């Protein structure tokens, strides 16, 4: 019963009786599962829905908790916000890039309590270097955040609509998409010298770049989304010693996670000829840079995934985690597979489960 | 006698013009008869009642109809579209003086843009209007909303009529209105109606949860709009009618977005420029053969900017131009005195131009042919029609959707079992479809030219009843109630691509809707006080029955199971009061019926007071409205907060 009801007497009471009163929202109970690892899952939520929140898998208690940000920060108006796009741990903190709310949210990695936030318009992804956070903004720059003060210390201009970024040595690499102009996509990876904070180079790769991951051999794996029509997605390798493209895999690539010598790559791409989405789960040996045969899910359970949307590999157990965004408008799923590709367990997440981060 | 208690009869008490008063009683008696005789459910608000209810635009008025969900993004300038019986807004066609307000781009008509200032009547038909003499377009949607503008009425010897008015109130609303009617020949009338509407659109809204209570001001919902309408009416010697309407609307408005954490301001803006000219000619109704001709040209320009989307030079700045030409010929012929038939044929050409890269520039030719017949035996009526639709899309680039030909049937029946009782039973069956819109088919990156039309199948059974009383305070009651079953098949939905950037349209979903509507009106008289009470209730189970869907047998988004409204008005001499209550039950904002998607019920109480005064030369009408009296904060559409308590005052002078 709400306050209005108590105050306004007969008419409203009658109304309430006739039509049942408003109910309070129920926070879902944690779901019990058995597993070997634990992690944060960022549910993006639909654009404009303000349904972004973090789920947390607690490996000690084997529980999967929904909406841990809201539970830890009930006083934050409207919660974590709208359309989370990236989450990473750095030191004792977790940094969440909330694209639709134009902010970087900083929380305690253990308690999920809010430490602060930094407003960054149209922010996308995050990387760290020497107590500074680097956040891409679709407005064409990387915001340099002082993690102690939680303020923007500088802006470094890069290409159009930059997406993922990664630090290798003293250099920051930024994948530019140019996604706002479908007739003239950006094609470059910008290279920033972190010692001087200036852009030193643009590496021409392919149109509409998106994912960017580093392996342990000084190579970068960068994905191109293509033009969603005639040009399909693809995966390229940049050698950071020469800052040049050294290989093109010619496989569809939507997202990837690299663990030790293996890159796990999935793709869901519309095919005009098939009239359907073609979903693939590939493995690449990053040491020899060759595509390995077969799917990384081996027990046939990939048929249950409608729309793979996030991937992570547990560095301890080597379990593979894949999220399923389904039709984007219903709650998603998190699936855990063994390193040999057998499904261990699945759990229901929030809307559009995407980025994941393992925490100690 | 039926005319005694028609809902608008009370208007006679406050109206000062004798001629108008008589007309109103007669016209409204006819209308109410028509409603209760109709084989399809009809709801209407007209004349005085339209002036009395708390409304600024057509959108506010349609909330009082049963079976209607108004999708309202809030505020004076926010988008407002109508969804009838859960079938989706693209299944309701909106007609302006008998000619459809078409929108080939997205299939939706923003009812918030249509002012009530020049409206005489708003009516909603489930299925279709059972009139046989009508354009083929009037058969071509699952439900129809008719807007009818004011036709000037002159007393004998009168030549000029003026009206000036001013509305103002919350949201810094300033809304001056002028109207001039001129009779330049015995049976030829000219009418011009114009208004300006300016509002900063600011209002407070409040978010409360377990540990926060935040009040914020809605910004960026400002609007400035200009409207001008010209009407020309000519009545021929044999009573044939000729009408010409010109409509011009320009607006600039802010587009307030979804309120989400840390985002309370928006920079998106929109400009609209809508123009149309239409003409209609109708021969005399008492002849064996009757003809109705309609023609229209429409030009719609929209400019939308989003300064947050930074492009290589500048920001997103989209411009769209939509044009339509339309012709309709409808014929009706009495074969015998109990059997009539009609044949209507319509042609429309629509095209869309936009400053988008790789834009398809689609053009659509539509030919409609409707053959209808009606049999009347004593108290039994049977009507059937078949509609042939031929659509041909052409594009300048990419693949066109091509040609489609479809035949769709409708059957209507009504029966009055006893001559002595005003009880009527009715039923209808109708299958119709909506064409995929230009956005569905050709929107760069999203469109899918292989889309099929989306079908709506409707089955309806209902009854109407009315009774008059004398010697009691209660003067009459009128009741309509229907139960219905609708199926929407091949429903066009956006489905995900490999990323949120790449959605695609698909004929994926299937929806089953079981509903019941109850509509009860009562009319009262206590000495010098006349009163009317109306209650509407809608039950609607609208389930997603998509095979292998993610939300099988869940209630579809934004359709409440329970909704309703109640309105009461009372009049004493020149005073009038109106109260209305609108209730929308719990809903879900997404497919899955889970707590995360739960949207609270909302209910608003509105009141209004009216007073007419003045003399023979000039008469005035003043009103004060309080909307959302109890200041409830609610969303109709998730994260688009609606205004709390707000006020509106108006004064009109007629001379």
- Residues B117-173 have pLDDT tens digits of 999 999 999 999 999 999 999 999 999 999 999 999 888 888 999 999 999 999 999
Task: Convert the pLDDT of each residue in B22-81 to its tens digit.
Answer: 454 555 556 677 778 889 999 999 888 888 887 889 999 998 898 999 989 988 888 899
* ipTM at complex level: 0.88
For CA atoms B117, B118, B119, B120, give the dihedral sign.
Answer: positive
Q: Which of B347, B345, B324, B325 is nearest to B438 (CA)?
A: B324
pLDDT at residue number B615? 81
pLDDT band at B448; cut points 50, 70, 90? confident
Q: How far apart are CA B156 and CA B163, in angstroms?
A: 19
Measured in angstroms, the CA of B595 and the nearest CA of chain A are apart by 6
Q: Do A330 and B590 touch (CB under 8 A)?
A: yes
pLDDT band at B356; cut points 50, 70, 90? confident
Report, in this order, helix, strand and coil percent for chain B, each rounded to 5.
Answer: 10, 60, 35
Q: Which of B259, B263, B550 sits opposite A327 (nearest CB)?
A: B550
pLDDT band at B563; cut points 50, 70, 90? very high
The DSSP H or E segment spanning B22 is: helix B18-37
SS3 category, B118: coil
Neighbouring CB atoms inside 10 A of B420's CB total 6
CATH topology of domain B34-152+184-654: Maltoporin; Chain A (2.40.170)
Q: Do B630 and A139 touch (CB under 8 A)?
A: no
Neighbouring CB atoms inside 10 A of B199's CB total 24
Q: Do B590 and A25 touch (CB under 8 A)?
A: no
Q: Are A57 and A50 in contact (CB under 8 A)?
A: no
> Percentage of residues in chain A with pLDDT exceeding 90?
79
By the 10 Å C-beta count (0-12 exposed, 13-18 middle, 19+ buried), A32 is classed as exposed
What end-to-end distance do the CA atoms of chain B give, in Å? Answer: 34
- DSSP 8-state code for residue B115: B
- Chain position carrying tokens 């969603």: A228
pLDDT at residue number B446? 66
The DSSP H or E segment spanning B425 is: strand B423-434
Q: Do A225 and B262 touch (CB under 8 A)?
A: no
A-interface mutation test, from B445, B496, B504, most A Cβ less than 10 A away:
B496
Q: Which of B209, B357, B498 sits opposite A183 (nearest CB)?
A: B357
Contacts of B314 (CB under 8 A, 6+ apart): none
- Residues in chain A with CB shorter than 8 Å from the CB of B518 are none
**Per-domain residue ranges of chain B:** 34-152+184-654
- Residues in chain B with CB shorter than 8 Å from the CB of A12 are 630
A-interface mutation test, from B74, B258, B260, B493, most A Cβ less than 10 A away:
B260
Strand pairing class (B92-96; B143-149): parallel
Neighbouring CB atoms inside 10 A of B84's CB total 24
pLDDT band at B17; cut points 50, 70, 90? very low
Q: Are A105 and A78 in contact (CB under 8 A)?
A: no
B-interface mutation test, from A47, A77, A353, most B Cβ less than 10 A away:
A77
By the CB < 8 Å criterion, does B548 face chain A? no
pLDDT at residue number B497? 52
Q: Which two tokens stand for residue B288?
A: 């064996």
Task: Convert the pLDDT of each residue in B222-249 to its tens digit.
Answer: 999 999 999 999 999 988 999 999 999 9
Q: How far apart are CA B513 and CA B85, in angstroms?
A: 8
Asked whether residue B504 carries a pLDDT value surpassing 80, the answer given is no
Q: Do A179 and B501 touch (CB under 8 A)?
A: yes
pLDDT band at A30; cut points 50, 70, 90? very low
Q: Do A81 and B444 touch (CB under 8 A)?
A: no
**Distances in Å between the alpha carbon of B235 and those of A168, B154, B182, B241?**
84, 13, 14, 5
Neighbouring CB atoms inside 10 A of B575's CB total 15
Q: What is the mean pLDDT of chain B?
A: 89
pLDDT at residue number A94? 95
Q: Which two tokens stand for residue B56?
A: 């600024």
Q: Which two tokens stand for residue A261?
A: 């010598």
Asked whether residue B83 carries a pLDDT value surpassing 80, the answer given is yes
pLDDT band at A2; cut points 50, 70, 90? very low
**Which of B 467-496 lie inside 8 A of A, CB atoms?**
495-496
Q: Do B261 and A101 touch (CB under 8 A)?
A: yes
Task: Convert the pLDDT of each residue in B374-409 to its tens digit.
Answer: 999 989 999 999 999 999 999 988 788 889 999 999
Task: Convert the pLDDT of each residue in B572-613 to its tens digit.
Answer: 999 999 999 999 999 999 889 999 999 999 999 999 999 999
By the CB < 8 Å criterion, does B579 face chain A? no
**Which of A 216-255 lie inside 8 A of B, CB atoms?**
225, 228-229, 233, 254
pLDDT at residue number B403? 92
Measured in angstroms, the CA of B48 and the nearest CA of chain A are apart by 27
Q: Which two tokens stand for residue B519?
A: 């509509």
Q: CA B543 from chain center: how many Å?
A: 24
The answer to which of B14-28, B549-563, B620-634, B635-649 has the lowest mean pLDDT is B14-28
SS3 category, B376: strand
SS3 category, A241: coil
Measured in angstroms, the CA of B504 and the nearest CA of chain A are apart by 9
**Phi, psi angles (nearest 5°) of residue A102:** 55, 45
Q: How far apart are CA B191 and CA B233, in angstroms?
A: 8
Contacts of A3 (CB under 8 A, 6+ apart): none
Q: Do A20 and B632 touch (CB under 8 A)?
A: no
CA-nearest residue to B216 within chain A is A77
Q: Are B33 and B27 in contact (CB under 8 A)?
A: no
Q: Are B298 and B275 in contact (CB under 8 A)?
A: yes
∠ CA(B497), CA(A286), CA(A226), 5° rounding?
A: 25
Measured in angstroms, the CA of A139 and the nearest CA of chain B are apart by 6
Q: Are A88 and B273 in contact (CB under 8 A)?
A: no
pLDDT at residue number B31? 65
- Residues in chain A with CB shorter than 8 Å from the CB of B585 are 19-20
Strand pairing class (B241-254; B223-235): antiparallel
pLDDT at residue number B28? 56
Q: How far apart are CA B190 and CA B231, in angstroms?
A: 6
By the CB < 8 Å criterion, does B263 face chain A? yes
Residue B172: left if φ>0, alpha if ψ -120 to 50, beta else—which one?
A: left
Which residue(s) pair with B224 in the sheet?
B198, B252
By the CB < 8 Å criterion, does A186 face chain B? no
pLDDT band at B501; cut points 50, 70, 90? low
- Residues in chain B with CB shorter than 8 Å from the CB of A21 are 601
pLDDT at residue number B401? 86
SS3 category, B463: strand
By the CB < 8 Å criterion, does A116 face chain B? no
**Distances in Å between the alpha carbon of B143 and those of B67, B84, B85, B433?**
11, 7, 9, 11
Q: How far apart are CA A243 and CA B254, in angstroms?
A: 46
Q: How far apart are CA B568 and CA B578, in angstroms?
A: 6
Measured in angstroms, the CA of B510 and the nearest CA of chain A are apart by 15
Q: Are B511 and B544 in contact (CB under 8 A)?
A: yes
Q: How far apart are CA A276 and CA B623, in angstroms?
A: 59
Q: Which two tokens stand for residue B366?
A: 């539509």
Strand pairing class (B99-100; B619-627): unpaired
By the CB < 8 Å criterion, does A328 face chain B? yes
By the CB < 8 Å criterion, does B547 face chain A? no
Q: Are B263 and A101 in contact (CB under 8 A)?
A: yes
Q: Are A325 and A319 in contact (CB under 8 A)?
A: no
Asked whether residue B18 carries a pLDDT value surpassing 80, the answer given is no
CA-nearest residue to A120 within chain B is B262
By the CB < 8 Å criterion, does B314 face chain A? no
By the CB < 8 Å criterion, does A350 face chain B? yes
Q: Are A145 and A133 in contact (CB under 8 A)?
A: yes
Q: Are B411 and B384 in contact (CB under 8 A)?
A: yes
> Percentage of residues in chain A with pLDDT exceeding 70?
89
CA-nearest residue to A139 within chain B is B310
Q: Are A239 and A246 in contact (CB under 8 A)?
A: yes
């Amino acid at each position: 019963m709400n306050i209005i009801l108590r105050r306004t007497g007969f008419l409203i009471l009658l109304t309430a009786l006739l039509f049942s009163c408003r109910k309070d929202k129920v926070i879902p109970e944690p779901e019990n599962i058995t597993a070997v690892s634990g992690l944060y899952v960022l549910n993006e939520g639909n654009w404009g829905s303000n349904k972004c929140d973090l789920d947390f898998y607690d490996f000690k208690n084997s529980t999967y908790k929904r909406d841990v940000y809201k539970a830890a920060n009930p006083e934050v108006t409207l919660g974590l916000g709208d359309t989370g796009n990236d989450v990473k741990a750095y030191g004792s903190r977790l940094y969440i890039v909330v694209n639709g709310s134009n902010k970087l949210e900083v929380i305690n990695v253990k308690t999920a309590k809010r430490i602060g936030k930094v407003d960054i318009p149209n922010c996308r992804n995050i990387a760290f270097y020497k107590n500074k956070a680097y956040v891409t903004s679709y407005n064409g720059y990387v915001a340099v955040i002082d993690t102690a003060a939680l303020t923007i210390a500088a802006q470094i201009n890069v290409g159009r609509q930059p997406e993922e970024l990664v630090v290798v040595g003293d250099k920051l690499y930024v994948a530019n998409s140019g996604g706002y102009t479908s007739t003239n996509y950006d094609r470059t990876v910008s290279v920033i010298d972190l010692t001087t904070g200036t852009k030193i180079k643009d590496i021409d790769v392919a149109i509409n770049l998106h994912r960017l991951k580093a392996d342990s051999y000084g190579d970068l794996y960068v994905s191109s989304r293509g033009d969603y029509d005639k040009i399909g997605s693809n995966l390229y390798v940049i050698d950071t010693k020469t800052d040049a493209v050294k290989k093109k895999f010619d496989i569809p690539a939507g997202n990837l996670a690299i663990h030790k010598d293996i890159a796990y790559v999935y793709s869901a791409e519309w095919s005009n000829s098939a009239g359907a989405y073609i979903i693939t789960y590939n493995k690449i040996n990053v040491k020899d840079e060759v595509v390995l045969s077969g799917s990384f899910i081996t027990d046939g359970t990939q048929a249950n995934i409608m729309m793979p949307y996030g991937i992570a590999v547990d560095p301890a157990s080597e379990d593979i985690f894949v999220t399923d965004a389904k039709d984007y408008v219903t709650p998603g799923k998190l699936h855990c597979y063994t390193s040999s590709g057998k499904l261990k367990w699945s759990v229901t997440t929030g809307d559009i489960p995407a980025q994941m981060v393992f925490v100690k | 006698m039926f005319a005694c208690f028609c809902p608008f009869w009370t208007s006679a008490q406050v109206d000062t013009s004798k001629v108008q008063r008589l007309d109103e009683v007669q016209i409204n008696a006819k209308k109410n008869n028509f409603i209760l005789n109709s084989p399809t459910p009809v709801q209407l608000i007209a004349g005085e009642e339209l002036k009395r209810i708390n409304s600024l635009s057509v959108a506010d008025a349609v909330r009082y109809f049963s079976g209607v969900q108004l999708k309202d993004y809030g505020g004076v300038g926010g988008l407002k579209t109508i969804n009838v019986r859960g079938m989706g807004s693209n299944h309701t066609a909106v007609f302006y003086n008998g000619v459809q307000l078409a929108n080939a781009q997205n299939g939706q008509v923003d009812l918030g843009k249509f002012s009530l200032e020049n409206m005489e009547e708003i009516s909603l038909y489930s299925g279709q209007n059972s009139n046989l003499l009508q354009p083929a377009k009037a058969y071509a949607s699952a439900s129809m909303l008719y807007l009818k503008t004011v036709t000037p009425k002159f007393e004998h010897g009168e030549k000029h009529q003026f009206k000036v008015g001013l509305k103002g109130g919350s949201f810094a609303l300033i809304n001056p209105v002028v109207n001039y009617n001129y009779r330049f020949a015995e049976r030829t009338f000219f009418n011009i109606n114009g208004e300006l509407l300016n509002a900063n659109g600011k209002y407070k809204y409040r978010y409360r949860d377990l540990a926060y209570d935040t009040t914020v001001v809605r910004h960026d919902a400002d609007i400035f709009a200009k409207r001008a309408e010209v009407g020309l009416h000519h009545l021929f010697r044999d009573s044939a009618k000729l009408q010409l309407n010109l409509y011009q609307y320009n607006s600039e408005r802010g587009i307030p977005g979804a309120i989400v954490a840390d985002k309370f301001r928006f920079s998106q803006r929109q400009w609209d420029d809508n123009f149309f000219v239409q003409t209609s000619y109708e021969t005399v109704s008492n002849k064996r053969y009757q003809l109705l001709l309609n023609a229209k040209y429409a030009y719609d320009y929209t400019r939308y900017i989003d300064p947050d989307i930074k492009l290589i030079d500048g920001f997103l700045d989209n411009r769209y131009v939509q044009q339509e030409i339309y012709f309709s010929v409808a014929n009706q012929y009495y074969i015998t005195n109990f059997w009539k038939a009609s044949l209507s044929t319509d042609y429309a050409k629509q095209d869309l131009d936009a400053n988008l890269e790789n834009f398809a520039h689609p053009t659509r030719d539509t030919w409609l042919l409707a053959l209808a017949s009606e049999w009347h035996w004593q108290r039994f009526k049977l009507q059937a029609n078949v509609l042939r639709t031929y659509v041909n899309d052409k594009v300048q680039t990419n693949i066109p959707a091509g040609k489609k030909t479809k035949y769709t049937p409708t059957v209507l029946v009504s029966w009055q079992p006893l001559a002595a009782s005003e009880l009527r039973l009715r039923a209808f069956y109708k299958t119709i479809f909506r064409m995929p819109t230009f956005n569905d088919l050709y929107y760069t990156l999203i469109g899918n030219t292989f889309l099929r039309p989306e079908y709506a199948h409707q089955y309806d059974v209902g009854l109407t009843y009315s009774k008059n009383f004398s010697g009691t305070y209660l003067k009459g009651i009128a009741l309509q109630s229907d139960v219905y079953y609708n199926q929407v098949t091949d429903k066009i939905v956006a489905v995900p691509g490999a990323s949120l950037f790449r959605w695609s349209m698909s004929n994926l979903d299937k929806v089953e809707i079981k509903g019941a509507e109850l509509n009860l009106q009562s009319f009262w008289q206590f000495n010098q006080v006349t009163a009317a009470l109306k209650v509407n209730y809608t039950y609607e189970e609208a389930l997603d029955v998509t095979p292998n869907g993610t939300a099988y047998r869940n209630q579809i988004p934004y359709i409440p199971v329970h909704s309703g409204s109640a309105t009461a008005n009372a009049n004493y001499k020149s005073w009038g009061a109106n109260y209305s209550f609108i209730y929308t039950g719990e809903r879900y904002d997404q497919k899955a019926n889970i707590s995360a998607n739960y949207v609270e019920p909302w209910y608003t109480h509105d009141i209004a007071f009216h007073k007419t005064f003045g003399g023979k030369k000039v008469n005035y009408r003043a009103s004060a409205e309080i909307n959302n009296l109890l200041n409830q904060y609610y969303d109709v559409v998730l994260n688009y907060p609606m205004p709390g308590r707000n006020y509106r005052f108006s004064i009109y002078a007629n001379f």
